[in-house]
A = this chain, B = another copy of it.
Amino acid sequence: MELLYALFICLSLLVSTAKGLWPIPRNLETGNSFIKLHNSFKISLDGNISRPPQDLLDAIERTMSFLRNDKLQRLVVGRGAADRGAIGSASALQKLLISINSDDIKPIGEEAVKDVLQRNEAYSLSVPADGGGAVIRAETTLGVLRGLTTFSQLWYDDGQGVTYAFGVPVNIENDSPAFPYRGFMLDTSRHFFKVDDIKRMLDVMSWVKLNMFHWHAVDSQSFPISIAEFPEVAAKGAYSSQETYSTDNIQDIVSYAAARGIDVLLEIDTPGHTAAIADSHPEHMACPFGSPWRTFAGEPPAGQLRLASAETTNFTTSLITAIAKTLPSKFFSTGGDEINLNCYANDSATQADLQRTGRTLEQALNDFTQSTHGALRTLGKFPVVWEEMALEHEVDLHNDTVVMVWISSQHVAAVAAQNLRIVHAASDFFYLDCGAGGWIGNNPNGGSSCAFRSWQQTYTFDPFANLTQEQHSLILGGQQLMWTEQTSPENLDPIVWPRAATSAEIFWTGATLPDGSPRNVASALPRLHDIRYRMVQRGINAIALQPEWCALRPNTCDVNA
């Protein structure tokens, strides 16, 4: 009996540690051999790629740099030394060939900002055990990038400078994501993050094949985004002149992201969450800095755009147009969460505007939204909104609109019933800020408004829960979200990583593992450890998930192990 149990443990170790791939490819065949990386290993482009885009060459160089510098020793007892025997007799891989089946090869940066439904991220990868060449095949440079990312996750260090892979041959046939939208949201208003902090997040996103950076750029606390036609808004609404993103910074972030296969979805939250605009444009603001704040807003300071005012509607539409037109993405978010009705009820200007035009507040909100969304459509973009715009207001949303469900995953079905496209962002599964205590100052309990969302809890999310088969195509994907009331550059890495990689696998791999079994936390954990330790090797302060003793002994710290 004990022998059988030991055998079971050994077998499950073999399977569960066979790869450190995250997200795990949808198709994956592996062997039992080891190979070394040859000293003169090269990544080369197929002959038909006569003028390779620079961002493809950069992606190759980054991959080479990872192979040289990751120095990740395998997570087993004895670490790299445990594999030295097997490595000794292994063949050496001399080359990885990249082949792109296309007559019109475009830069990664162009492929990455297409409509998500038109992005082609598929790739195939084969790594032989006999020293023959490895091959990545794709139809786009974006697909090649995904293949390179997978390839770079295969390699370990033996502690003596030998880089090797195990579980070869590896054969991945036509791996492509289950969902086109796989995101991460960062709030740069409650705390400011330097361009380098954002780039570091984009780096890690690309390592786990996330492809949408939802930039919740502004909010009531600060307005760090500089907009060329409206310089006064950031000048007065940012925390300081050092805590702003110049137009050059924004373009830098957008192109850095695109070269890494990531599209930037910028959000200018309206009409609520806008108090930071009051410093420059008090004429557009209802209940600015109203006190006590709880009467007028979910979070201080209070202040909402005077949505019933024609001037404010024009101002907002112009502001959004001014920034949206500079961005390549097909998506732009106008926000729309947590509109406080009491604020408008107490704003005499808004009440006068409503009375004069004979509209209800909801009618005015619809007009306001049609104006901003119309402007986005003129720019060829899809509007993105928070769920309240679909579920709590009388706004006529066109069915090109993308709705982010945040309050509860239980609200997804109601949005789908309106035939609107959906991004999963529900607080009950995807909020990274939950559980860190409350930010309200004089609360002696200091309680959190929501409990910590462990990676396990997130990982068990079902994207199709409560939906009919016909509604499945409405689900674009999902994202984890980093609200920053209590997060600043100082703790950004560990609060985000590796947890935000969880949704990367949910939405790339889908419901089942390559062998057809359901995704599950027990088999995911060893791979998540692996990518976390790899992140640390690459300089990211990703948090530990278990004692190192457990990380070195897959599944030994499971219950009943």
A261 within 8 Å of B (CB atoms):
no
Query: Which residues of chain B are within 8 angstroms of A494 by Cβ–Cβ distance?
Result: 490-491, 494-495
Q: Are B452 and A545 in contact (CB under 8 A)?
A: no
Q: Are A221 and B548 in contact (CB under 8 A)?
A: yes
A443 within 8 Å of B (CB atoms):
yes
Q: Are A556 and B300 in contact (CB under 8 A)?
A: yes
From known contacts A221-B549, A436-B452, A487-B544, infer whether A558 and B441 are also in contact, taking CB-CB under 8 Å.
yes
Chain-B contact segment, one of A112-120, A148-156, A199-207, A453-461: A453-461
Query: Which residues of chain B are within 8 angstroms of A495 by Cβ–Cβ distance?
Result: 494
A561 within 8 Å of B (CB atoms):
yes
Query: Which residues of chain B are within 8 angstroms of A161 by Cβ–Cβ distance?
Result: none
With the chains together, A448 CA to B192 CA distance in Å? 30
A294 within 8 Å of B (CB atoms):
yes
Chain-B contact segment, one of A307-315, A374-382, A535-543: A535-543
A488 within 8 Å of B (CB atoms):
yes
Q: Which of A222, A436, A493, A547 has the most CB of B within 10 A?
A: A547
Shortest distance from the beta carbon of A556 to any chain B beta carbon, whole Å: 6
Q: Are A485 and B546 in contact (CB under 8 A)?
A: yes
Query: Which residues of chain B are within 8 angstroms of A5 by Cβ–Cβ distance?
Result: 291
Q: Are A486 and B79 in contact (CB under 8 A)?
A: no
With the chains together, A548 CA to B239 CA distance in Å? 8
A240 within 8 Å of B (CB atoms):
yes
With the chains together, A222 CA to B550 CA distance in Å? 11
A50 within 8 Å of B (CB atoms):
no
Shortest distance from the beta carbon of A385 to any chain B beta carbon, whole Å: 23
Query: Which residues of chain B are within 8 angstroms of A451 by Cβ–Cβ distance?
Result: 451
Query: Which residues of chain B are within 8 angstroms of A561 by Cβ–Cβ distance?
Result: 291-293, 300, 441
Q: Are A558 and B442 in contact (CB under 8 A)?
A: yes
A417 within 8 Å of B (CB atoms):
no
Q: Are A541 and B442 in contact (CB under 8 A)?
A: no
Closest chain B residue, CB of each to CB of A494 = B491
Q: Are A444 and B521 in contact (CB under 8 A)?
A: yes
Shortest distance from the beta carbon of A495 to any chain B beta carbon, whole Å: 8
From known contacts A442-B555, A549-B190, infer whether A490 and B456 are also in contact, taking CB-CB under 8 Å.
no
With the chains together, A113 CA to B463 CA distance in Å? 59
Q: Are A547 and B191 in contact (CB under 8 A)?
A: yes
Shortest distance from the beta carbon of A107 to any chain B beta carbon, whole Å: 34
A138 within 8 Å of B (CB atoms):
no
Closest chain B residue, CB of each to CB of A556 = B300
Q: Are B546 and A490 in contact (CB under 8 A)?
A: no
Q: Are B191 and A440 in contact (CB under 8 A)?
A: no
Q: Are A549 and B240 in contact (CB under 8 A)?
A: no
User: Which of B447, B522, B542 interacts with A441 by CB under 8 Å?
Assistant: B522
A445 within 8 Å of B (CB atoms):
yes
Closest chain B residue, CB of each to CB of A456 = B446
With the chains together, A486 CA to B547 CA distance in Å? 6
Give me the interface of A with B, judged by CB distance under 8 Å.
Answer: 5, 79, 189-192, 220-222, 239-240, 291-294, 299-301, 435-448, 451-457, 459-460, 484-488, 490-491, 493-495, 520-522, 525, 536, 540-550, 552, 555-561
- What are 28 A-B contacts with C-beta separation under 8 Å? A5-B291, A221-B548, A239-B552, A291-B561, A292-B560, A292-B561, A301-B549, A435-B435, A435-B448, A436-B543, A437-B452, A437-B453, A437-B454, A439-B545, A439-B546, A439-B550, A440-B559, A441-B525, A441-B546, A442-B558, A443-B521, A444-B460, A444-B520, A452-B452, A487-B544, A490-B540, A491-B543, A491-B544
Ranked nearest first, the 9 interchain pairs of A and B with the lowest CB-CB distance are A446-B456, A446-B454, A437-B454, A491-B494, A442-B522, A221-B549, A490-B541, A442-B558, A190-B547
Additional 4 contacts, C-beta under 8 A, given A292-B560, A441-B555, A442-B555: A191-B544, A222-B549, A444-B459, A446-B454
